[in-house]
Structure 1
Amino acid sequence: MTTLIEFLQTNWLETLYKAWEHLYISLIAVLLGIAVAIPLGIVLTRMKKGAGFVIGIVNIVQTFPSLAVLAFFIPFLGVGKLPAIIALFFYSVLPILRNTYTGIKDVNPNLLESGKGLGMTNWERIFLVELPLSLPVIMAGIRTSSVYLIGWATLASFIGGGGLGDYIFIGLNLYQPAYIIFGAVPVTIMAVLIDHLFAKIEHKVTPKAIKGIKETV
């Protein structure tokens, strides 16, 4: 049985590569989720009907088993990183979409009326009023999505997507705890670091007025 020291001496370079591969797959999926979910969330706030239906559909997709979603894309995209990224993208959408919709809907209507009074167009109100004020909520959704995806990305190895999940499944198949540890522990550390990073970004993008309200509550 391989010891932790022996494993690290033999595979430290490969472990770094797999950690980068894991992070790459997760962050690409999150970036795709941001590119789709934020504009869609803005559009939904403009819909008087149908917004609840769309979010409900996304909620249903979120309940699909991860392995089933990964397997679904194999006939269309084959195996490798691409189907893994697409599958993870579907899981990234809901937290970002829901928080974008909620954040923008919760913007004080009086501020929007003030924007109208200043002659702002609809696009200007979105980019200068609604998005800045809802950014903390949106960032919270991105933060949640990113942490989830780093954990779910371990399943990418089932379809040849690579990442640290390779070590976990090799360890399970060969009864080698060292592989499982060096697959699971870096994933946990990565999730904690990403959560901390996005928490810092969330704090930075929070308007000073909102920070003041939070501190006095």
Structure 2
Amino acid sequence: MIDWAWVGDHLDDLAWRILQHFTLAAIAVGLGFAVSLALSIWVLRRPRLRAAVVTASGVLYTIPSLALFAALVPVTGLSLVTAEVPLVLYTLLIFMRNILAGLDAVPPDVLEAADAMGYSSGTRLALVELPLALPLVIGGIRLASVSTIGLVTVSGILGDRFGGLGFFIFEGYRHTFMTEILFGALPSIALAIAVDVALVAVQRRLTPWAAQQVPEGMRPAAAS
């Protein structure tokens, strides 16, 4: 049974936790995308280095999230750094796979045409390759955003300051109070769905050509 009186007394706290949860996820996704984009551009034409970097990001993705949060606490304390480092690391594989797959899918004849027009490698990347890779890149942003919103709940182990909606879930389990568990879990699910819907709208607006037909090579790459 849900304790509706308790829910009514904690609505203000819920609003604050939703904002905190969203902020933690947004910071992680933003930093993760910036790092992944830089790494992807760096390794794009370096096959051996590319394999090593992608493999390393895959290894990081396999580390249990709760264990990684707990391992950082003795080093960085109950801080924003402790909350964000695991979240950022878990986005790297998703972003890199999608960015690299998107860049790989750019047709060779398009690249040749850009070279024939005298584009430098940097100009070609900025004006030709990245725009054509955008559908898959945004797909990676969607995957990373939804995944990160889910992972932020694990930061509830850090307590009140950086727990987001996960704080309610951990407190609910600690007190065996189902209302508090649902108070954290359901808004977290709703937030992930809302963000995904918003990003779908952005994707359709920025890449209208991809909404009609997405080639096989340009579909979002799975993180597994």
User: What are the superposed Cα offsets for residues 9-31 of structure 1, whole Å, 9 maximum, x if unpaired?
Assistant: 21000011011111111110000
Contact 1:42 1:104 in 2 (8 A): no
Residue 49 of structure 1: CA displacement? 2.3
Q: Distance in 2 between matches of 1:142 and 1:191?
A: 12
TM-score normalized by the length of structure 2: 0.90
Q: Which residue of 2 aligns with 1:31?
A: 30
2:48 is paired with a residue whose SS is coil
User: What are the superposed Cα offsets for residues 62-90 of structure 1, whole Å, 9 maximum, x if unpaired?
Assistant: 00000111122222211133211111110
User: In the alignment, residue 31 of structure 1 is paired with which amino acid?
Assistant: G
User: In the alignment, residue 121 of structure 1 is paired with which amino acid?
Assistant: S
Q: Which residue of 2 aligns with 1:67?
A: 66
User: What are the superposed Cα offsets for residues 149-187 of structure 1, whole Å, 9 maximum, x if unpaired?
Assistant: 111111111123221111111111111111011110000
* 1:1-20 correspondence to structure 2 within 5 Å: 3-20=2-19
Contact 1:154 1:163 in 2 (8 A): yes
RMSD: 1.6
* 1:57-136 correspondence to structure 2 within 5 Å: 57-136=56-135
Q: Which residue of 2 aligns with 1:171?
A: 172
Contact 1:132 1:207 in 2 (8 A): no
Contact 1:22 1:153 in 2 (8 A): yes
Q: Distance in 2 between matches of 1:129 and 1:17?
A: 42
Residue 212 of structure 1: CA displacement? 4.5
Q: Which residue of 2 aligns with 1:182?
A: 183
Q: Distance in 2 between matches of 1:185 and 1:207?
A: 32
Q: Distance in 2 between matches of 1:158 and 1:31?
A: 23
Q: Distance in 1 between matches of 2:164 and 2:211?
A: 38
TM-score normalized by the length of structure 1: 0.93
Residue 35 of structure 1: CA displacement? 0.8
Q: Distance in 2 between matches of 1:24 and 1:126?
A: 31
Instruction: Name the stretch that deviates more: 78-87 or 53-62.
Output: 78-87
Unmatched tracts of structure 1, length 5 or more: none
Residue 100 of structure 1: CA displacement? 0.4
1:204 matched to 2:205? The reply is yes
Q: Which residue of 1 aligns with 2:50?
A: 51
1:119 is paired with a residue whose SS is coil
4+ residue segments displaced more than 3 Å: 210-215
User: How many residues get paired?
Assistant: 213
Q: Distance in 1 between matches of 2:8 and 2:164?
A: 19
